[in-house]
Amino acid sequence: MYAFAPDRSLPKPELYRELTESARALVAGESDGVANMANLSALIWQYVDWLNWAGFYRVIADELVLGPFQGRAACIRIPLGKGVCGAAAASGMTQLVPDVHAFPGHIACDAASRSELVVPVIRQDRVIAVIDLDSPEPARFDAEDAAGMELLAKAIAAAI
Ligand code: SME
């Protein structure tokens, strides 16, 4: 059993540092990427509040394919460059979207989503996956969330 007990009221930089340390502990010694992504999705869900979706899309050939996640069933395949996830994967840049309805080409997997944060996971200079967070709150994510999730993405890149 894993007894992670996040204090969601911590200042964001600290919360994400703790999330990242917990994530390192969780994947340590496990080489199965699917198992690690499944556990990491659950961990993000526990640590980060006001989410309606949290999970992975993996870069396979020229598309993103749904990976382990928490939340409602979602689109399975997204072409690179399409939607918020495709933009993050194609550019290798974090996408911080305060209003998904204002993002050209946003793909609505869950109609409840209002804002979104997508960070690329980079291994050996290649985007291998993205971590996608959706929130029902407009402008839920800020630069501290983006920096925190980038820290996490770096820490787990070798384990997924
Ligand atoms: N909204 C995303 C699609 C994935 S779901 O939100 C889970 C996008 O525009 O890429």
Q: Over the stretch 71-80, which tens digit does the pLDDT of each residue have?
A: 999 999 999 9
Of ligand 1's atoms, which has the minimum distance to the CA of residue 78?
10
**10 Å Cβ neighbour count for 95?**
22
Q: What does the alpha-carbon distance between residue 98 and residue 12 come to, in Å, rounded to a whole number? A: 17
pLDDT at 117: 98
pLDDT at 2: 77
Q: What does the alpha-carbon distance between residue 16 and residue 54 come to, in Å, rounded to a whole number? A: 15
**For the chain, what percent of residues have pLDDT higher than 90?**
92
88-137 residue pLDDT tens:
999 999 999 999 999 999 999 889 999 999 999 999 999 999 999 999 99
Question: Domains of the chain: which residue ranges?
Answer: 12-159
**pLDDT bucket at 5, cuts 50 / 70 / 90:** confident
Residue 53's nearest CA partner among 66, 37, 41, 38 is 41
Q: Which fold has domain 12-159?
A: Beta-Lactamase (3.30.450)
Binding pocket residue ranges, ligand 1, CB within 6 Å = 53, 74-75, 78, 83-86, 106-107, 109, 113, 116, 132, 134
Q: How many helices (H) and strands (E) does the chain have?
A: 4, 6
This prediction's pTM: 0.97
**For the chain, what percent of residues have pLDDT higher than 70?**
99
What one-character DSSP code corresponds to residue 105?
T
